[in-house]
């Protein structure tokens, strides 16, 4: 159950990353002459890249914790 929920939340987070990253590039490359729009696009790109880094690190750490919890649970319950 925990792994399934984690997988769904991770997929949702990566989808939000891709959405914000693509919106950022769309705004940055838009033909709108306003520099404010391009700055917002740059900001979205930078923020989404930081989010991807932390999402990757957090997902890895959480996967290791879930795996270790499964091993400990198996040893305690199975080896009892």
**pLDDT digit string (tens) for 45-64?**
999 999 999 999 988 898 89
Per-residue pLDDT of 20-33, as tens digits, reads: 999 999 998 888 88
pTM above 0.75, yes or no: no
How many residues does the structure list for the chain?
A: 80
Q: What is the DSSP string of 57-71?
A: HHHHHHHHHHHHHHH
Q: Are 30 and 41 in contact (CB under 8 A)?
A: yes
pLDDT at 79: 58
2 vs 6: CA distance, rounded Å: 6
């Amino acid at each position: 159950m925990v792994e399934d929920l984690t997988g769904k939340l991770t997929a949702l987070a990566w989808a939000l990353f891709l959405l914000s990253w693509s919106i950022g590039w769309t705004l940055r490359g838009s033909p709108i002459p306003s520099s404010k729009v391009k700055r917002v696009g740059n900001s979205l790109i930078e923020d989404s890249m930081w989010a991807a880094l932390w999402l990757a690190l957090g997902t890895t750490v959480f996967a290791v914790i879930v795996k270790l919890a499964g091993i400990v649970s198996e040893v305690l319950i199975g080896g009892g």
